Structures are given as C-alpha cells and as structure tokens.
Amino acid sequence: MINRLQYISQGATPADHLTNISSACDAGCTWIQLRIKDLPAEELMPHAIAARRITERYSATLIINDHPSVAAAAGADGVHVGLEDNTVAEARRIAGEKMIVGGTANTWRHIAKHQSDGADYVGLGPYRFTSTKKKLSPILSLIGYQEVMQKLTTMGINIPVIAIGGIVTEDIQGLLRAGVHGIAVSGLITNAPDKALLVDLLYKRLNTPFTCNL
C-alpha cells in the first residue's frame, strides 16, 4: 500500500535530517523518504542505517532517495530515483524484487516509462516553486496535474501518483479531484509549529472521499 502522505527529509546536515525524521514519525508520519543529496553511497550508509532504526521504532516505511544499493544494505523498504538517477528497472535490479521502487516524473511520458519499468508509484511535480530541489523541472500547477491525469486515464495507465513540490494543505482537495493518490511534503511538516496537529489534519484531508471530475 502506497501511503497518501509521504514525508521527505530535509536539513542543513545529516544529523538535522535524522532529527526531522524522528519528529515527523513522532507526529504520526508513517512513510519517510531519506533524501540527503550529494553524498556518496559510503557516506550515506550510516545515516540510512540510523534512519532505519528510527522508522522501525514507529513501524514506518523508509524509502532511500537515489541509492538502491544503500536501500538494500540498510534494510530500507524501498528506493526512489530521480529523472537523472538510475532507471526504475535498474534500481529494482540492484535493490531487489521485494523493494518498493518509485520514480520522479514531470510528464505523462515519464510516468508511462516508470510504469513499464515496474515502478510501484511515481512522484509527479513540481506543483509550484520549491527551494528543496536544486534542478527544478517545469512547474505543473493544478492544470498541469489535471492534464497529466487525464492522459493517464485515456492511456489506461493506473499507478499511484504522488503530488510533490511546494504543496500546502489548501491544495489537497484540488489535487485529489485531479486524480492523484496522495502528496509528498517536506518543509510543510518540518517547519510546522505543531507537527502532530498538522499531520492529523493532512491525513484527514487526504482520506476524505472526493469524486474525480475527469
């Protein structure tokens, strides 16, 4: 089951990432992606192991960004690859068939390729500008999501799509109506003064049934 709410770690240092992961789990997040960019696999490994220990205490799913070999070695639940990283097929070959494998997408063509490569879900974005990513793909906005989801429906492609990129609580209803499965957030939870209250609200919004208008 692909969680409707995914927390992507952030922080100035690896220690900050782990602190924020612990806080997100404590607030009720049950799907965590460890995303420490620009670290080679050998330097990322101890932080991935530490993140696994944290998420295990909360029975939370742990996804490692970019590094399928680290995900497998650290005992994570899955790996997420970007557009400039390994393909989904290559990530699954390295990480193993039992791993959850997700891929980043900016167009319906990216999603179609990820599905054909065996992805379990895709992260589609960005919804709006975000400073979290250095190399930002073209912004989609709600209209872009509606167009992509309509195309997927027309093509008969059915895969969980996670919206990502500067998303706030007020965006959820429109995105669900467009047909996405859920959202991935970073700063929204990291910077929340009351993380538990926010996470509870996000889950309630995400699990409110909406009729798709497509």
212 belongs to a structural domain: no
CATH number for the domain that contains residue 33? 3.20.20.70
pLDDT in tens, 36-73: 998 999 999 999 999 999 999 999 999 999 999 999 99
Whether this model's pTM surpasses 0.85: yes
Whether the pLDDT of residue 129 is over 80: the answer is no
Q: What is the DSSP letter of 84?
A: T
pLDDT in tens, 183-212: 999 999 999 999 999 999 999 999 986 554
pLDDT of residue 133: 58
For 193, the domain range is 5-206
Rg, the chain, Cα only: 16
Domains identified in the chain, total number: 1
214 belongs to a structural domain: no
Compute the distance between CA of residue 38 and CA of residue 30 in angstroms, rounded to an integer. 25
Whether the pLDDT of residue 214 is over 50: the answer is no
* Mean per-residue pLDDT over the chain, rounded: 94
149 belongs to a structural domain: yes
pLDDT of residue 208: 82
52 belongs to a structural domain: yes
Which is nearest to 160 in space by CA: 196, 199, 111, 88? 111
Q: Which long-range contacts (CB under 8 A, 24 or more apart) does 193-202 make?
A: 195/23, 195/24, 195/26, 195/27, 196/26, 196/27, 196/28, 198/27, 198/169, 199/5, 199/24, 199/27, 199/28, 199/29, 200/28, 201/169, 202/5, 202/169, 202/172
SS3 of residue 207 by DSSP: coil
